[in-house]
Amino acid sequence: MIAVIQRVSQAAVTISKRETASIGSGLMVLLGIEEADKMEDLSWISRKIVQMRIFSDDAGVMNKSLLDIGGELLLISQFTLHASTKKGNRPSYIKAASPDLAIPLYEACIDELTQQLGRSIKTGVFGANMQVSLINDGPVTIIIDSKNKV
């Protein structure tokens, strides 16, 4: 499971020219689920997202988490994070999970993040053609992969 975590001052998702979700200050997370992912990957990545200290404290040091600042979270499913570009110029998505595996894990991730934050999160729509806009604050962008925990 791969997560691209971006610290934002605002972010939004538009589908068919209609804004379906938006947040203010917080995190916009792109989540890629692969065939080998399990609930342990989901739990680890969710905990990292919520507890990652990438917000500034009073001294300007990145020392606060999403929990600490009461920030919002926008979660977007993105299978293209598992693109393989080793051969040729057309990416292969062979590692990306099929919808029958990815949808339950994506929904479980929403539930896990909601539980850990103690409030609801905003999401995109799984499988939809979405336009995602954001203002990356910093910019701060962190990529984590549950297969590289150690």
pLDDT in tens, 23-71: 999 999 999 999 999 999 999 999 999 999 999 999 999 999 999 999 9
Amino acid at 117: L
Q: Which pairing describes strands 26-32 and 18-23: parallel, antiparallel, or unpaired?
A: unpaired
Question: Which class for 43: exposed (0-12), middle (13-18), buried (19 or more C-beta within 10 A)?
Answer: middle
Q: What average pLDDT is seen over the chain?
A: 95
Backbone dihedral angles phi then psi of residue 86, each to the nearest 5 degrees: -65, -40
Which of the following is catalytic: 14, 80, 114, 123? 80
**Span 73-84, pLDDT tens digits:** 999 999 989 888
The yes-or-no answer on residue 85 being catalytic is no
- Tell me, what's the pLDDT at 80? 87
Question: Which class for 102: exposed (0-12), middle (13-18), buried (19 or more C-beta within 10 A)?
Answer: buried
Contacts of 115 (CB under 8 A, 6+ apart): none
Q: Which two tokens stand for residue 1?
A: 């499971």
| pTM listed for this prediction | 0.94
* Whole-number Å distance between alpha carbons of 87 and 32: 21
Residue 101 has pLDDT above 90, yes or no: yes
Looking at CATH, the fold of the domain delimited by 2-148 is given as: D-tyrosyl-trna(Tyr) Deacylase; Chain: A; (3.50.80)
Q: What percent of the chain is modeled with pLDDT above 90?
A: 90
